[in-house]
Amino acid sequence: MAESPHVHPETTTPDGSDPRCVPHKLTAPLPIGAECPYPDYSAEEQDVWKTLYARMETLLPGRAADEFLTGLKALDLERDRIPALADVSRKLQRATGWQVCRTPGLLDAHDFFSYLARRVFPSTDYIRARRELDYTPAPDCFHDIFGHTPMIVHPRFADFYQKIGQAALNCKDAATEEGLTRIYWFTVEFGLIRNPGGLRIYGNGIISSSGETQHSLTDKVRKVPYRPETLAAQPYDIWHYQDPLFVIDSFDQLESEFVRWAKERQLL
Ligand SMILES: [Fe+2]
């Protein structure tokens, strides 16, 4: 894969001119856990985090998956201050054995999946500018920390996420890689789940976008049952809201069906 699927439809510039959109090919290991320094954030940057957190906190009840909200609560992320990656890493390690490493930005796909395969989540530590509250050209730490880490608290999602990384490293042909990228896209970034209370969002590409969070659960979007073969065959358009979206019944189903798909292709 030319670049990480860790790219979001509402956030990528058409010509990739923003340096935040250029994937990094690593030449040295990234700092992990306690090795991640806490940046000297300005008061303005801390306030952007606070604004984004407050906005999502009002939108997510009744829309975000129970499992996402449980993970968010377990991590106890600071509302008024950008959390330290070292602290988030420590909490994740206690929950599911995952750690966080600090990435300078988007990663080359092979590097990105190599970390996932070792149960390490690459997170940025910079935050978007205030003018980018609704639009940033690449993931920032609000997307990575607030949006991604709560799901990694869930044991079955955490195992699934690692297996996506392991399977990606074993892809031998472009068609299988494309299929896996689509599965990643329609689950980790754009997945829906049927909770006891109704249809809910667990994909961070949706949770990162207040517009898509409100749009995705409406009847304007087709909802299709999750089956890896169906996702792998579904192209996506990064410039528009996603349609269709795919619905899992549980994270057990998400993982077990993915493992079946990957084993049938000798990826696991
Ligand atoms: Fe993401």
148 catalytically annotated: yes
For 64-115, how does the pLDDT look when each residue is reduced to its tens digit (9 = 90+)?
A: 999 999 999 999 999 999 999 999 999 999 999 999 999 998 899 999 999 9
Q: Which of 6, 8, 143, 154 is catalytic?
A: 143
Whether 42 sits among the annotated catalytic residues: the reply is no
Domains in the chain: boundaries: 20-264
Is 143 one of the annotated active-site residues of the chain?
yes
What's the confidence (pLDDT) of residue 17? 61
Is residue 248 within a helix (H) or strand (E), and if so which, with residue range?
strand 245-248
Q: Which residues surround ligand 1, an ion (CB under 5 A)?
A: 6, 204
* CATH fold label, 20-264: Phenylalanine Hydroxylase (1.10.800)
208 is known as an active-site residue: yes
Report pTM. 0.92
Ligand 1 centroid distance, CA of 139 (Å): 7
* CB contact at 8 A, 89 and 100: yes
Residue whose C-alpha is closest to residue 140's, from 102, 191, 88: 102
Listed residue (220, 260, 264, 213) closest to 243, CA to CA: 220
Cβ neighbours for 225, distance < 8 A, ≥ 6 positions apart:
246, 247
Per-residue pLDDT of the chain (268 residues; tens, 9 = 90+): 333 444 444 344 555 567 777 788 888 899 999 999 999 999 999 999 999 999 999 999 999 999 999 999 999 999 999 999 999 999 999 999 999 999 998 899 999 999 999 999 999 999 999 988 876 778 899 999 999 999 999 999 999 999 999 999 999 999 999 999 999 999 999 999 999 999 999 999 899 888 889 999 999 999 999 999 999 999 998 878 899 999 999 999 999 999 999 999 999 9
Task: Compute the distance from residue 8 Cα to the ligand 1 centre, in Å.
Answer: 7
Angstrom distance (rounded) from CA 134 to CA 212? 11
Interval between CA 108 and ligand 1 midpoint (Å): 14
